[in-house]
Structure 1
């Protein structure tokens, strides 16, 4: 079932809260495709009459596979919701995140059930994943993600036998939704937003289950949540040790300066572990996933395509930008995560130079940086750019020497065969 046939929309109110209401979900009629005639000229039927489609792709992004029991998550910062100084640090916890792996498995089944693209009728040739597959730059999160995409047993839990998350009934904080209830009275989500009690939900969510796995080739992409703690903080050696250890922070560090909290988290996230803590079960599988390990994890037996797009050059150079050529289209995957920290992205100049070279290869005519028309002997091919960050979020100035977003945009405008940019990040 596609959204052109049917949509899911908010339904009747099930429970009222003091701030908003908790609603059911119901189905509604589908939404039609809009033909951008200001871009194409002809109407939809005339376009389809020209010939067969060149490429049909699926697109997924920002799945945020989450280890909800990780000691290196700082959910207590939700006390500062509404304080603009903490905007880039939030959200660090979502009430539904324990169900995330199950939702992704359902998305995989839905993608597999699509027999043909809704407009062209072509089979889907490739799925493009544009980053933030995981939430906290942890190896065990990535193992869960690959099990979901490649098929097999998925284990959302980590640590010990008992679930040790902020949503557990005995967790000493009432600002999180506790589906089983808790010993401290109704939580904030039940009171303010009408969330229900669902006894046993957390236990069921953490049980291992089987994923069907994608039945089509897929290619990956590096996002800020693969690079950084909670997508913001540099994974320092101190934080890396805390990820696999047995103490979890539950309180704001003494004397925290709200005005500098963001930059403190960016450069020294381990400082946020200096407040009150509780004991949790240590787990070595929570080790951080650096860029080399991220790329290497895609080179698995049976991967389609090999390395899920990543190349031997990426393995050698510890980079994660590459190209993937189909029979008709060149896909160029960029790495826009900022190694210097922060949620927004940037593009380093060596990657920009590489991009220009790869665009030249598929243009018979292009415009150089001085505005001159250049003719080549290269055959024309259409180009799709994929990255985690959209252009308007490439504004992270923390990495010295990175190219500004308008420089990337000017480069793309010099090459007329670039027809589409795929990205994620903003969760729209």
Structure 2
């Protein structure tokens, strides 16, 4: 089928630009990757039955689109100039050379998913697209409006309110930190050109901000709350001072020399405006720029009008100020969406005690039996459904203690980190899959239950749309007829050319060409490109994940 990586996969092609530190590669097609079978939860002797296999469901997983208002006065791209300072390690990078054309990459992926006729193993139609947070980048209303416009389809203005680019990649902007696709002419080129061989793309910024018609996602889709939906650059708590800057016509270009960087992460988390007191540049203001909170995020999904209603969120979420829900739109499967974002700041996540109690209750509703916290067996008499958990953060980025909360929580607050959440999920044998994002790395991990031999679930993390390799993941559910369940995962590339057209060709300004360039640029980012491991290994991509069927 078109777009999957079973027949072919994109990777490094010829060198087309030379830099002092690294070379710039075009992309090229390589042989595809067949499905690998992972048997950790059933034992190495398991073999796929030749008959009696039945398709149950199929979904697509998309995460970390990070659609940005790339000209926002409240973004801190200049932090990249302090990349080598270990005190700033948790706050960089804050700019990507491809981010001005992320809207086109999202549109290309939407078009590809619309064209998927069915899962490659079973042919079962895709029933829902599951997103797992960080769909936007800087907790801004105009970013969320743009995202919903792309997913809804129709005319789209990718400038998030601006009609012309007015940001750090423009000619004449201070510093040489950012790739300038339209070379200034004369003088020392920017670091991306000189050190990493990045190309000249005249006309790119105008093309990036030109209106285009988005196809719109024709499949039902579910939303999820991530840290970039709530926090500045996914880390800092929005403050009144920064809201004032967001509306202003001045964009900071550096911070003052007396900012105490020994505690830079904590300072940025609570008082990011401290980093805005040095030089600034005049930019075009937008009256509609404002920060959003959790209620704004939920309300926008409820008002969107797409399918399913609210994209999973409910009126109860709006009343309670929460962003977790259940969705029973797949026959025999319950999807449980968690909100792991800490609105108190910081990139890591957790579950508070109230959400943990809610989660246990929702899992019990679709489990005929489960284990109580003390390990005793509970019989509920409820009808069984398989359970898929979705969240932004996964095991490795859920932490029980919040280092940025004042005061620090005590050990008995009931907050769940990764180990505590896994222990809770293990009490409910119907949980078979946990989908998440956040790390921008494709990874698959098995979680065997210590309480019930042969039981457990699979955790599947999918790479980011905004970064290399920019893929989605299909998940097919199969009842193997032998007491086991398989979830067949297949990576999907958006269906745009492997290499973008020459910048002087008219076709270079088309959305598909810009999506292709977005992927090529992301592949060459020195810290997050082809060599960074974000695509995961073969056992993290096209895989068949087998476990004992909890309902057999």
1:278 counterpart residue number: 281
The 2-side partners of 1:45 and 1:407 are apart by 33
Helix, strand or coil for the counterpart of 2:12?
strand
Q: Report the CA distance between 1:301 and its aligned residue.
A: 5.2
Quick one: distance in 1 between partners of 2:51 and 2:98? 45
1:189 and 2:199 matched? no
1:394 maps to which residue? 398
Alignment of 1:50-129 (within 5 A): 50-129=52-131
Residue 158 of structure 2 is aligned with which of 156, 160, 163? Answer: 156
Structure 2 stretches of 5 or more lacking a match?
A: 442-552
1:122-153 residue CA offsets vs partner (Å, 9 max, x unmatched) = 00000000000000000111111111111112
In structure 2, the residue matched to 1:246 is 249
SS in 2 for 1:268: helix
Native 8 Å contact 1:144 1:156 kept in 2: yes
Give 1:382's match in structure 2, choosing from 386, 398, 406. Answer: 386
Match of 2:437 in 1: 424
Greater displacement, 32-41 / 1-10: 32-41
With over 3 angstroms needed to count, the CA separation of the structure-2 counterparts of 1:37 and 1:162, relative to structure 1, is closer
| Correspondences of 1:17-416 after superposition (within 5 Å) | 17-40=19-42, 45-46=48-49, 49-158=51-160, 161-182=163-184, 184-300=187-303, 302-325=305-328, 326-395=330-399, 397=402, 398-399=404-405, 400=409, 401=413, 402-416=415-429
Counterparts of 1:212 and 1:40, CA distance in 2: 42
Cα distance between partner residues in 2 of 1:186 and 1:301? 44
The offset of 1:367, in angstroms, is: 0.8
1:283-303 superposed Cα distances (whole Å, 9 cap, x missing partner)? 122211111110000023531
- TM-score normalized by the length of structure 2: 0.75
- What is the CA–CA distance in structure 1 between the aligned matches of 2:160 and 2:432, rounded to whole Å? 43
Q: 1:171/1:222 Cα in 2 relative to 1: closer, same or farther (>3 Å)?
A: same
Describe the shift of the 1:331–1:186 C-alpha distance in structure 2 as closer, same or farther (beyond 3 A): same
Structure 1 position 240, deviation (Å)? 1.5
Relative to its length, the structure with more strand (as a share) is: 2
How big is the shift at 1:44?
Answer: 6.6
What CA distance in whole angstroms lies between the structure 1 residues aligned with 2:339 and 2:33? 33
SS in structure 1 at match of 2:213: strand
Q: Report the TM-score, using the length of structure 1 for normalisation.
A: 0.96
Instruction: Decide which moves more: 241-250 or 225-234.
Output: 241-250
> Which of the pair has the greater relative contact order for Cα pairs under 8 Å at 6+ separation?
2
More off after superposition, 276-285 vs 150-159: 150-159
RMSD: 1.6
Pick which of 117-126 and 395-404 moved more: 395-404
Report if aligned partners of 1:385, 1:420 keep a CA contact under 8 Å in 2.
yes
- Offset at residue 225 of structure 1 (A): 0.1
Between 85-94 and 154-163, the greater mean CA deviation after superposition: 154-163
Shift in Å at residue 45 of structure 1?
A: 4.5
Q: Measure how far apart 1:379 and its partner are.
A: 1.4
Give the CA deviation at 1:40: 4.3
Aligned residues between the structures: 427
Aligned-pair CA distance for 1:82 = 3.1
Kept in 1, the 8 Å contact 2:146–2:160? The answer is no
Which structure: greater helix fraction? Answer: 1
CA–CA distance in structure 1, aligned partners of residues 89 and 106 of structure 2: 27
Per-residue deviation at 1:159? Answer: 6.0
How far residue 404 of structure 1 moved from its aligned partner, in angstroms, is 2.9
Please report how far the alpha carbon of residue 12 of structure 1 lies from its aligned counterpart in structure 2 after TM superposition. Answer: 0.8
Question: C-alpha distance in 2, partners of 1:14/1:147?
Answer: 35
Q: State the Cα distance separating 1:43 from its structure 2 match.
A: 5.8
* CA pair 160-223 structure 1, distance change in 2 beyond 3 A: closer
